[in-house]
Structure 1
Amino acid sequence: MANSEGTHQLHYLGAVDMADLVDSGHLGADPGTRSVEEQIIDHVEAAQLRSFLPSHGLGCRVVAVHVSKIGINLVDVDGQAVVDRLALHKIVQVLSFDDGFGRFNVVLVEKKSSGDVQCHLLQTASASDADHLCRQVRQAFHSAVVDSS
């Protein structure tokens, strides 16, 4: 759910590391290679099946997600403690998807200094909230690029 300031409240299900992403969009790519988005969703769902991440937000902390030109802050709604800060320049992908059970997930993919990526999983009951958060992150990127030129 987004409030009037554009802050979203979602369940934070956690984060899982991912070794690498293979971009299948280039010429000569193996036609059987899945898209980057499909690889991310597959990885997150596999982590849920192996119980590395919960599959639903029940019992998970609710966070306020603040998006700005410098990054994304995840703040615990109950204790107001910062759960995580993600620098905008380290976000390499943001996507939303329906898990098939009426829950909508947002994955923020962050590039780590090791070269690996970390997938942060958030969940909401509304597809429009998930899509709006993705649009807000994209707009923050656009705004940061325009301001730097």
Structure 2
Amino acid sequence: MLFTLLIPLIVAQNPECSSAYCSSCKTNPNVCDSCAPNYILIDGTCKYFKEVVPYCAISSENGCSSCMLGYYLKDGKCQIPPNPLCATYKGDKCIVCVDGYYAKAGECFECVENCYECSSMTQCFECLDGYGFNGDDCVQSLDHCKTYSYGSSTKM
């Protein structure tokens, strides 16, 4: 025996408006002024935000307000980052780079040789595995040595 369960679709809509998902239509019942949550107003019609703005995590009336991980927000749309070395964008400027690079003026620059984490070309905070500090430089650790006198891999 086959049973079919019919569940009515509940639409968040102002009954005075003819457009689906429309929450306000002040001047004309056929033209929407604002939309229900998760819908974006485009030319008087409400569209589901994920259809209009791919990779959007959180929508707003003007488009997207937050993108999925790995994308950045520009002009209400989620875009693939132009710089694969950037870990975090603010607008279209990079503010945090991947390990081994530092952010300056919205761009990513490489740390000094053998440096894992830095804030500038001359300021290394942590050396790569197998390297330790000798002054401000990251130098290769001695094999089979428990300690060495020229420092550690992390600056304090």
| TM-score > 0.5 by shorter chain | no
Q: Which has the larger radius of gyration?
A: 2
Greater percentage in helix = 1
Greater percentage in strand = 2
Of the two structures, which has the highest relative contact order with CA contacts closer than 8 Å and spacing of 6 or more?
1
Q: Give the TM-score of the pair, scaled to structure 2.
A: 0.18
Q: Give the TM-score of the pair, scaled to structure 1.
A: 0.19
